[in-house]
Amino acid sequence: MPETLLETNFPTLKLHARGKVRDIYLVGDDLLLVATDRISAFDHVLATGIPDKGKILTQISLFWFKLLADLVPNHLITADLDKYPVALQPYREQLHLRSMLVKRAAMFPVECVVRGYLAGSGWKEYQETGSVCGIALLPGMAESERLPQPLFTPATKADQGEHDINISMHEMGVHIGAENADLLRDLTMMIFDRAWRHVEEQGLLLADTKFEFGVTPQGIVLADEVLTPDSSRYWSKKDYRAGGPQLSFDKQFVRDYLIESHWNKQAPAPGLPPDVVERTREKYMEAYHRITGHAALEL
């Protein structure tokens, strides 16, 4: 099993932030995003990482940024190490395949979530209230059933260890302005439709996902990661049967293990046994292959 990179340390660079997965450095007016092998579940970063996960996620994001470029601009400058500034060259080994140099953007303080199927927290809420994020649905729907039409369900961004809070379109408009809210909703639904159609041809179903957008001097851009197994729920199309959980290509495998281990979802987060780590890595690798149509990633 390859080594796991849980944290970067680049002494000559200024650390801007550490997220659940990414370490972010300042590079002049731009940012260097480095995807580590950390993995989070239930709003906590686990003690064990997944080898090569950061490389796989970065390459999936790069695939989508290219495929979606005609729909919406993105923040990517380059992921080519040979085009990185001189200051980054001493760290090439750690940056290989897991980094992106991006334009710095003023990020909107909302998650743009879209749901195509009744799953996860949406299924839980539907069982209790008959609705998802306050949107009433038909009675008698089953777990994992396809929704009559995809639902846009925005949420606020929470700090690490806290839950995102679902909000209405009106509340989203209060946060970022009604015009911006409408624009981000429309962009989100266009991107989701393009991605849905693409992965269906690849034998996958895109159950739900979330996007983040920001503003640069050139306008609104798609930012952060995009349509990776960390931010999206992917299912096997040929194995899909409504009425229960699905065969997935995301970190649901890890969530299921944590539920079975009776973790109370409080810090400190536990580690993962070797077999769960290996199986999760295999799922991420298969997701890369299925989504991009490329052979296994050369790591």
Task: Answer yes or no: is pLDDT of 161 > 60.
Answer: no
Residues 51-63 have pLDDT tens digits of: 999 999 999 999 9
CB of 279 within 8 A of CB of 39? no
Residue 96 lies in a domain: yes
Whether residues 20 and 119 fall in one domain: no
Residue 163: pLDDT band (50, 70, 90) is low
- Residue 253, pLDDT score: 82
Residue 245 lies in a domain: yes
- Residue 159, pLDDT score: 63
Our count of domains for the chain comes to 2
Residue 251: pLDDT band (50, 70, 90) is confident
Q: What is the mean pLDDT of residues 16-30?
A: 96
Whether residues 48 and 148 fall in one domain: no
Residue 158: pLDDT band (50, 70, 90) is low
- Residue 162, pLDDT score: 58
Q: Which domain holds residue 149?
A: 107-261
Residues 198-210 have pLDDT tens digits of: 999 999 999 999 9
CB of 270 within 8 A of CB of 46? yes
Residues 135-156 have pLDDT tens digits of: 999 999 999 999 999 999 999 9
126 CB neighbour count, 10 Å cutoff:
21
Burial of 74 (0-12, 13-18, 19+ CB in 10 A): buried
Rg (CA), the chain: 19
Whether residues 63 and 185 fall in one domain: no
CB of 4 within 8 A of CB of 54? no
Whether residues 160 and 228 fall in one domain: yes
Whether residues 194 and 251 fall in one domain: yes
- Residue 237, pLDDT score: 96
Any idea what the CATH number is for the domain that residue 252 is in? 3.30.470.20
Whether residues 257 and 124 fall in one domain: yes
Whether residues 135 and 178 fall in one domain: yes
Q: What is the mean pLDDT of residues 261-281?
A: 93
Residue 45: pLDDT band (50, 70, 90) is very high
- Residue 2, pLDDT score: 81
- Confirm whether pTM is higher than 0.85: yes
Residue finishing a domain among 85, 105, 125 = 105
Task: Answer yes or no: is pLDDT of 282 > 90.
Answer: yes
- Residue 134, pLDDT score: 87
Residues 183-200 have pLDDT tens digits of: 999 999 999 999 999 999
Average pLDDT, the chain: 94
Residues 76-120 have pLDDT tens digits of: 999 999 999 999 999 999 999 999 999 999 999 999 999 999 999
Q: What is the mean pLDDT of residues 1-14?
A: 93
Whether residues 127 and 211 fall in one domain: yes
Tokens, residue 43: 């709003």
User: In one letter, which amino acid is 245?
Assistant: P
Q: What is the mean pLDDT of residues 233-257?
A: 92
Residue 283 lies in a domain: no
Whether residues 251 and 167 fall in one domain: yes
> Among 41-45, 69-73, 80-84, whose mean pLDDT is lowest?
41-45
Closest to 37 measured CA to CA, from 194, 256, 251 = 251
186 CB neighbour count, 10 Å cutoff:
11
CA pair distance 56, 37, nearest whole angstrom = 10
Residue 181: pLDDT band (50, 70, 90) is very high
